[in-house]
Every structure is written in C-alpha cells, then in structure tokens.
C-alpha cells in the first residue's frame, strides 16, 4: 500500500490517503511484532557496545528476554519515529512546495515562513511522546536491575568490581537506546518521505527526502543523554548493595 500510494502520488494527491493506510497498517504490525523485530536490532546494536566482559554481558542481557526488551524499546521507537516522520515530511513538503512555486518568489517566501513555523510547532508537540517513552525505558531498566539483584551479587562475588557493574548497566541502556533510535530514525525518514512524495509527486515528480539535520541531531543527543540517565539510578543501587546481601535476595 505504501508503494501503491507512491505510484498514485504521481497522478493525484489522493495517493497520500493510500500511503497513509499503508503506513498505519505497517507501523501497527511493527508495534505488535516488536518481540520479533527488536531482538535482531538489539543484537546489531550489541556489536557496538559488546566489547569486553561488561559489554558482552550487557549485549546478552538485552536479548535474554525478548518480550521485556521489546516492551522497553518499542515506546521509544514509536516516539522517535513520530518525531522524525513529522520533521522529514514537513521539511520535504516545504522543499517540494518551494520547487513548485520557484517561478513566484513572493509566494515561495510566504510558504517557507509558514511551513518553518508549522514544522517547529509539530516537532515540539510530537517530541513530548518521545519524552514519555523515555520515562518508560528508564522505569523498565530500573525494574530489570531490581529483578537481577542476585545475578549482580553473583557477578560481584566472582570478581566484578562496582565500576564494571556500572559500565555493564550503562552499556545495556546504551544498546537499547541505540537500537530504538536507529530503527525509529530509519522508519521516520522513510514514512516522512513517502507522505510528502505521495502528496506532491503529481506536481514536482520524484524528489529525494529533505532531512532536517538539526532535528535529527537533537534526537541523537537526546538519546545519548537518555542512555546515561536511564542507567544512573539502577547502576548506583546495584553497586551500593553488598554482594552477600544481593545473593540473599529473593
């Protein structure tokens, strides 16, 4: 349906409705099948952080329970996808509209100003969904550390230092954040371009997506802060608990 919407977009702007239905159906499928989709993405992200004993354990922990990992990350995937989708769609729409009105500079300037303001407003509003999803990731990671109290105590008994435990938890958080950000950015750019292209393809032909790099850079910075922030509290609790007390926990 996404492909059909693109093809129809070269004939009529109504192709956007077909593409919208395709995007809705496919994204719903991704959300419902997150327990199948996220583990391979997490394994790929694990290759980035899975170096050394702490990184290897973090990479294994992130995919040990697919259902839990999917619940932890899919909310952030949805938030990042929506932010990127609106940013790319509106920026591409602006570029395509300016191309269509390039013979009328006054109209082009007016449209540019209007669409710039609209892009900022929509991106800010949708950005709150990513913040809410980030809170969910923090809570899930904290719960996961609580559930693994005995495991962390065993690692300390086997010789892991507090610093190594902290690095392992941060690496696990980074792995989940990288996976969610990467998938969300790819989906958002793709959906955003399809939306703009299916709407204006009949007027401007085939045009590449326009990527608002400041917005995407902000998403990446937000993800980096999230990865460290999400691990701070559970890591502090994990290293403060003595190995003997952790092994005695239920």
- Summarize the confidence of residues 8-14 as an average pLDDT: 88
| Highest mean pLDDT out of 2-11, 45-54, 56-65, 102-111 | 2-11
CA gap 39, 156 in Å, rounded: 27
Residue 18: CA count within 13 A, CB half-sphere: 18
DSSP annotation string for the chain: -HHHHHHHHTT-TTHHHHHHHHHHHHHHHHHHTHHHHHHHHHHHHHHHH--HHHHHHHHHHHHHSHHHHHHHHHHHHHHHHHHHHHHHHHHHHHHHHHHHTTT-HHHHHHHHHHHHHHHHHHHHHHHHHHHHHHHHHHHHHHHHHHHTHHHHHHHHHTT--HHHHHHHHHHHHHHHHHHHHHHHHHHHHHHHHHHHHHHHHHHH-S-PPPP-HHHHHHHHHHHHHHHHHHHHHHHHHHHHS-HHHHHT--
- Identify whether the C-beta of residue 67 lies closer than 8 Å to the C-beta of residue 38: no
- Identify whether the C-beta of residue 214 lies closer than 8 Å to the C-beta of residue 106: no
For 71-118, write each residue's pLDDT tens digit. Answer: 778 888 888 888 888 888 888 888 887 777 777 777 777 777 777 777
Residue 28 has pLDDT above 70, yes or no: yes
- Residue 170: Cβ within 10 Å count: 20
Integer Rg of the chain from CA: 22
Residue 241 has pLDDT above 60, yes or no: yes
For 228-239, write each residue's pLDDT tens digit. Answer: 776 777 777 766
Least confidently predicted of 52-61, 68-77, 136-145, 158-167: 136-145
- Which is higher by pLDDT, 128 or 86? 86
- Which is higher by pLDDT, 113 or 141? 113
- Summarize the confidence of residues 186-215 as an average pLDDT: 87
Residue 123 has pLDDT above 80, yes or no: no
CA gap 83, 57 in Å, rounded: 32
Q: What is the mean pLDDT of the chain?
A: 79
pTM: 0.82
Q: What share of the chain is helix, strand, coil (3-state, %, to 5)?
A: 85, 0, 15
Residue 250 has pLDDT above 60, yes or no: no
- Which is higher by pLDDT, 110 or 41? 41
Residue 249 has pLDDT above 60, yes or no: no
Residue 7: CA count within 13 A, CB half-sphere: 5
- Summarize the confidence of residues 128-136 as an average pLDDT: 68
């Amino acid at each position: 349906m996404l492909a059909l919407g693109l093809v129809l977009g070269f004939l009529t702007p109504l192709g956007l409705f077909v593409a919208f239905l395709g995007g809705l159906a496919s994204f719903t499928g991704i959300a419902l099948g997150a327990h199948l989709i996220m583990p391979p993405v997490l394994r790929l992200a694990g290759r980035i952080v899975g170096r050394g004993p702490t990184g290897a354990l973090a990479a294994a922990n992130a995919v040990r329970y697919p259902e839990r990992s999917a619940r932890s990350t899919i909310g952030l995937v949805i938030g990042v996808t929506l932010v990127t989708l609106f940013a790319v769609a509106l920026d591409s729409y602006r570029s395509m509209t300016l191309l269509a009105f390039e013979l009328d500079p006054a109209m082009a300037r007016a449209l540019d100003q209007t669409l710039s303001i609209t892009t900022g407003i929509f991106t800010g509003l949708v950005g709150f969904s990513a913040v809410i999803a980030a809170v969910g990731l923090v809570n899930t990671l904290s719960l996961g550390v609580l559930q693994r109290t005995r495991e962390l105590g065993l690692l300390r008994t086997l010789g892991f230092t507090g610093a190594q435990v902290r690095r392992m938890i941060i690496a696990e958080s980074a792995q989940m954040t990288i996976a969610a950000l990467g998938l969300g950015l790819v989906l958002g750019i793709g959906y955003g371009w399809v939306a703009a292209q299916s709407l204006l393809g009949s007027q401007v032909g085939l045009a590449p997506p326009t990527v608002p790099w400041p917005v995407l850079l902000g998403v990446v910075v937000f993800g980096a802060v999230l990865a460290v922030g999400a691990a701070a509290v559970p890591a502090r609790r994990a290293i403060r608990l003595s190995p003997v007390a952790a092994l005695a926990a239920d």
